[in-house]
């Protein structure tokens, strides 16, 4: 989702496992939570760092497409709501980086890996937000798709990740609803507003489906991640669930999902739908999406231009600690 | 220039109802005073009447931690932070 | 699942005959626009940082400040609309007035620059804002006093935060010190507009609605002197009240661009509901 195509390491059959590995797997199978500093296979740790890190990066890069409209929000209330939402995303990034840090990596290192391109963020944030209805579509579809994945992840095996997810899910519900509330206003508004709403849906539908990642039913990485309970459902399961829940919501809005093949399948009890353009998806992942350069450029700029600020505050903290120590010595 | 990362702090908050301080999460700050300020902004959204403790994560000795982080209500005036602020028609299903 | 919107029972506003006082109306409206325009424009500037802050914790803190200021705007411009009595809402006033009708001080419309300019501007403004709101809690207008009391809680924290950061960055590294000094030198000549009274301010002071601006100056200077000293920054020698006119609607070129952006949707799609 926000963590797409995370490679997991060290898939092993049960009979190849060391006693430690077997005991670890049994703890997970019993539903126990793994906590920091407890023994874990190196593959589990590395995979989690990659997944949680990617998720955290997605939150902070994800501030940008919506941040793009904060200064243009049409009313004071919409401005406050949007700002609060984008601020929450910074908070979610912070919670997730903290969870990753319990695995022995530092936040600054993760951030540098994002900036160097060594770590990825979700493909969805490389798409532009072009009209106000996009703020609705992002909340409704993008946060909606994210929630599909994050709700089950509350039960993930790694304690700090699970707790971060619980907190995040609580806040995400407001995000999706505020998005849908914008879509309702737009879809029920003037003909131009309705046109913007349909345009937003047309542009975000495919990229939202891509958020779940390509089919992974045959992927060994996914199988390992699922055995470790750091992935709970397959990509296809979640994508189907998303489509099934979203179609009636689009119908209520009077908007058309841009998929002529979309139809209810009575036998399966699900909607049939067309796959998104996976060639486009891989191009976006490679850095050739519509906004890759802008997004990563904005993050790098913020970090580089903020260096003096971070360092200045460290300098003050060191000076004041030294002054306190000196005063303490003098007082003795 | 040498790279100096802000240390990580663990944040504990006691709400208005006088319960014990509880761990709510972590953050980075250059020193303890700023960690308190950041905690106000990040974890309480500056709701009043809360008491905050911070301690450097490196200074914690842990056995096998397993507490759940409580969730903080946003400040009362920011009603839009509550999902129920937005009226969603029944027809569209759960959201 | 059926979800009901939480019912928020708004407290009935305090009875306040001054709101309907016809003789006071033009000055009172003008003055309320000054309060609300300062907060909407500064809130807009600070919100530009969202997603671009130097570190996550600061990004979040800046957004909190901007959110507070937007909240204050809703209260001040809401009351301005009531006093004016022509049915204009806070949104109408924020999104449908042109720059020459805006009444904010020039200080708040200047571009953000780096974090040094952003924080120094906040500090100079917060120190004024704090004194102003403190005095307004004793306003003869019950409605004004009510808004001031709500806003003061948040602004006390704004001042605490910006003072702290000015001290830390001023007394931080050589580079942070130099940047803070440069920011102060650049902004200093804009601060005095907040204390320059005109007929509107005089009328508000005479009616007991607002304090005399001169009365706020001494405490502001004490705060500024103390913080700058601790920050090892040098107070500029030149006049602090060179740049005037914002409060009367004669702005810098920057405000026009802020409004072009902020008002775009309301202007492009008149009458639409959002």
**Using one digit for the tens of pLDDT, what is the confidence trace for A136-163?**
999 999 999 999 999 999 999 999 999 9
- Give tens-digit pLDDT for A186-241: 999 999 999 999 999 999 999 999 999 999 887 878 899 999 999 999 999 999 99
Question: Domain residues of chain C, as ranges?
Answer: 19-268
Residue B85's pLDDT is 67
CB contact under 8 A, C61 and B38: yes
* pLDDT band for position B69 (cuts 50, 70, 90): very low
* DSSP-derived secondary structure for C96-142: S--GGG----HHHHS---SHHHHHHHHHHHHHHHHHHHHHHTT-SSH
Residue B80's pLDDT is 65
More confident residue, C56 or A9: C56
Residue A330's pLDDT is 74
- Which helix (H) or strand (E) segment holds residue A272: the answer is strand A270-272
Q: What is the ipTM of this complex?
A: 0.94
* pLDDT band for position A1 (cuts 50, 70, 90): low
- Give tens-digit pLDDT for A221-232: 889 999 999 999
CB contact under 8 A, B80 and A321: no
Dihedral sign from CA coordinates of C130, C132, C137, C141: negative
CB contact under 8 A, A80 and C114: no
CB contact under 8 A, A70 and C47: yes
| Dist. CA A2–CA A60, nearest whole Å | 11
Long-range contacts of the stretch B32-35 (C-beta < 8 A, 24+): B32/B56, B33/C164, B34/A313, B34/A317, B34/C164, B34/C168, B35/B9, B35/B11
* pLDDT band for position C10 (cuts 50, 70, 90): low
C19-268 has CATH 1.10.1530.10 classification: no
Average pLDDT over residues C10-17: 79
- Give tens-digit pLDDT for C65-78: 999 999 999 999 99
CA C4 to chain centre: 35
| Torsion angle (degrees, nearest 10) of CA A200, A201, A202, A205 | 120
Average pLDDT over residues A300-306: 98
* pLDDT band for position B67 (cuts 50, 70, 90): very low
* pLDDT band for position A11 (cuts 50, 70, 90): confident
Residue B94's pLDDT is 72
Tokens 């909240």 identify what position?
C71
- Give tens-digit pLDDT for B6-19: 999 999 999 877 78
Average pLDDT over residues B61-82: 51
Residue B93's pLDDT is 72
- Backbone φ and ψ of C138, nearest 5°: -105, 20
Percent of the residues in chain A that have a pLDDT greater than 90, as a whole number: 88
Reported pTM:
0.92
Q: How many CB atoms lie within 10 A of CB A79?
A: 26
How long a stretch of residues is chain B?
95
Residue A10's pLDDT is 66
Which residues does chain B have within 8 Å of residue A314's beta carbon, measured at their own beta carbons? 4, 6, 30
Average pLDDT over residues A167-188: 93
- Give tens-digit pLDDT for C211-234: 999 999 999 999 999 999 999 999
Helix axes C25-47, A76-101, angle to 10 degrees: 30
Question: Any alpha helices (H) in chain A, and if so which ranges?
Answer: 19-29, 42-61, 63-67, 76-101, 107-116, 133-137, 143-153, 159-187, 191-210, 220-227, 235-253, 278-283, 292-305, 307-331
Average pLDDT over residues C39-55: 98
Chains linked to B by 3 or more Cβ pairs within 8 Å: A, C
Q: Tell me which residues of chain C, numbers 32 to 71, contact chain A at a CB-CB cutoff of 8 Å.
A: 40, 44, 47-48, 50-60, 63-64, 66-67, 70-71
| Dist. CA A203–CA A135, nearest whole Å | 12
Average pLDDT over residues A95-122: 96
Q: Tell me which residues of chain A, numbers 147 to 166, contact chain B at a CB-CB cutoff of 8 Å.
A: 159, 163, 166
CB contact under 8 A, C6 and B41: no
Whole-angstrom CA distances from C206 to A246, C81, C144, C188 are 60, 22, 15, 29
Burial class (CB in 10 A: 0-12, 13-18, 19+), C32: buried
Which residues does chain A have within 8 Å of residue B72's beta carbon, measured at their own beta carbons? none
Which residues does chain B have within 8 Å of residue C168's beta carbon, measured at their own beta carbons? 34
- In the three-class reduction of DSSP (H, G, I as helix; E, B as strand; rest coil), residue C251 is classed as coil
Q: Tell me which residues of chain A, numbers 179 to 238, contact chain B at a CB-CB cutoff of 8 Å.
A: 180-181
Average per-residue pLDDT in chain C?
Answer: 95
Q: Tell me which residues of chain C, numbers 29 to 58, contact chain B at a CB-CB cutoff of 8 Å.
A: 55-57
Residue C4's pLDDT is 39
Question: Could you tell me which residues are beta bridge partners of residue B25?
Answer: B11
CB contact under 8 A, B84 and C4: yes
Tell whether C154 lies on the interface with B, counting CB pairs under 8 A.
yes
Q: Which of B6, B42, B84 sits opposite C6 (nearest CB)?
A: B84
Tell whether C94 lies on the interface with A, counting CB pairs under 8 A.
yes
Whether the pLDDT of residue B3 is over 80: the answer is: no
Residue B26's pLDDT is 95
Percent of the residues in chain B that have a pLDDT greater than 90, as a whole number: 40
Q: Which of C50, C262, C266 sits opposite A67 (nearest CB)?
A: C50
Residue B74's pLDDT is 38
- Give tens-digit pLDDT for A25-65: 999 999 999 998 889 999 999 999 999 999 999 999 999 99
Which residues does chain A have within 8 Å of residue B62's beta carbon, measured at their own beta carbons? 36-37
Q: Which of C51, C94, C168 sits opposite A67 (nearest CB)?
A: C51
- Give tens-digit pLDDT for C229-258: 999 999 999 999 999 999 999 999 999 999
Average pLDDT over residues C121-150: 98
| Dist. CA A272–CA C256, nearest whole Å | 51
Answer whether C38's CB lies under 8 Å from C105's CB: yes
From A34, which residue of chain B is nearest by alpha-carbon distance? B66
* pLDDT band for position B65 (cuts 50, 70, 90): very low
Tell whether B28 lies on the interface with A, counting CB pairs under 8 A.
yes
Residue B75's pLDDT is 47
CA distance A75 to chain B (A): 14
- In the three-class reduction of DSSP (H, G, I as helix; E, B as strand; rest coil), residue B23 is classed as strand
CA distance C199 to chain B (A): 35
* pLDDT band for position A4 (cuts 50, 70, 90): confident
* pLDDT band for position B70 (cuts 50, 70, 90): very low
């Amino acid at each position: 989702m926000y963590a797409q195509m995370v490679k997991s390491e060290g898939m092993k059959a049960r009979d190849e496992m060391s006693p430690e590995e077997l005991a670890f797997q049994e703890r997970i199978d019993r539903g126990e939570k793994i906590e920091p500093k407890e023994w874990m296979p190196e593959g589990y740790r590395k995979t989690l760092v990659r997944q949680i890190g990617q998720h955290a990066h997605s939150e902070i890069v994800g501030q940008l497409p919506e941040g793009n409209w904060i200064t243009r929000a049409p009313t004071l209330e919409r401005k406050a709501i949007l700002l609060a939402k984008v601020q929450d995303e910074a908070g979610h990034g912070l919670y997730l980086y903290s969870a990753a840090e319990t695995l022995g990596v530092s936040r600054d290192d993760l951030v540098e890996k994002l900036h160097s391109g060594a770590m990825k963020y979700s493909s969805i944030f490389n798409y532009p937000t072009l009209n106000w209805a996009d703020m609705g579509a992002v909340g409704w579809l993008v946060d909606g798709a994210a929630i599909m994945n994050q709700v089950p992840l509350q039960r993930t095996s790694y304690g700090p990740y699970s707790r971060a997810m619980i907190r995040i899910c609580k806040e995400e519900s407001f995000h999706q609803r505020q998005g849908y509330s914008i879509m309702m206003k737009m879809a029920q508004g003037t003909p131009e507003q309705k046109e913007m709403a349909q345009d937003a849906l047309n542009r975000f539908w495919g990229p939202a489906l891509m958020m779940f990642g390509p089919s992974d039913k045959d992927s060994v990485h996914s199988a390992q991640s699922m055995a470790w309970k750091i992935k709970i459902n397959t990509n296809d399961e979640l994508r189907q669930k998303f489509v099934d829940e979203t179609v009636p919501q689009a119908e209520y809005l009077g908007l058309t999902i841009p998929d002529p093949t979309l139809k209810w399948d009575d036998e399966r009890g699900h909607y049939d739908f067309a796959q998104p353009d996976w060639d486009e998806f891989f191009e976006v992942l490679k850095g050739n999406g519509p906004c890759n350069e802008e997004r990563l450029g904005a993050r790098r700029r913020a970090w580089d231009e903020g260096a003096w600020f971070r360092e200045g505050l460290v300098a003050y903290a060191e000076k004041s600690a030294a002054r306190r120590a000196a005063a303490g010595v003098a007082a003795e | 220039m040498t790279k100096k990362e802000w240390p990580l702090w663990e944040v504990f908050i006691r709400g208005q109802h006088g319960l014990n301080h509880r761990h709510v999460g972590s953050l980075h700050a250059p020193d303890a005073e700023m960690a308190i300020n950041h905690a106000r902004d990040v974890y309480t959204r500056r709701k009043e009447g809360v008491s905050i403790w911070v301690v450097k994560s490196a200074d914690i000795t842990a056995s096998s931690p397993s507490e759940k982080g409580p969730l903080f209500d946003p400040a009362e005036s920011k009603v839009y932070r509550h999902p129920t602020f937005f009226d969603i028609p029944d027809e569209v299903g759960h959201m | 699942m059926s979800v009901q919107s939480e019912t928020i029972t708004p407290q009935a506003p305090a009875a306040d005959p001054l709101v309907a006082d016809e003789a006071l109306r033009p000055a009172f409206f003008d003055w309320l626009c000054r309060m609300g325009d300062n907060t909407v424009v500064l809130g807009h500037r600070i919100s530009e940082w969202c997603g671009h802050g130097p570190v996550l914790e600061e990004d979040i803190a800046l957004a909190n400040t901007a959110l507070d200021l937007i909240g204050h705007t809703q209260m001040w411009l809401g009351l301005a609309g009531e006093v004016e009595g022509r049915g204009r809402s806070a949104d109408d006033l924020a999104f449908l007035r042109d720059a020459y009708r805006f009444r904010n001080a020039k200080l708040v419309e200047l571009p953000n620059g780096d974090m040094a300019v952003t924080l120094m501007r906040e500090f100079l403004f917060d120190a004024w804002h704090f004194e102003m709101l403190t005095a307004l809690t004793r306003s003869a207008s019950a409605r004004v006093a009510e808004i001031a009391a709500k806003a003061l809680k948040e602004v006390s924290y704004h001042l605490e935060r910006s003072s702290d950061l000015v001290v830390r960055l001023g007394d931080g590294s050589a580079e942070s010190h130099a940047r803070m000094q440069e920011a102060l030198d650049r902004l200093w000549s804009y601060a005095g507009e907040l204390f320059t009274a005109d007929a509107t301010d005089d009328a508000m002071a005479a009616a007991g609605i607002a304090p005399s601006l001169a009365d706020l100056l001494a405490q502001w200077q004490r705060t500024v002197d103390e913080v700058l000293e601790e920050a090892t920054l040098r107070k500029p020698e030149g006049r602090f009240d060179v740049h005037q006119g914002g409060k009367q609607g004669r702005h810098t070129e920057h405000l026009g661009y802020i409004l072009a952006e902020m008002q775009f949707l309301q202007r492009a799609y008149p009458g639409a509901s959002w």
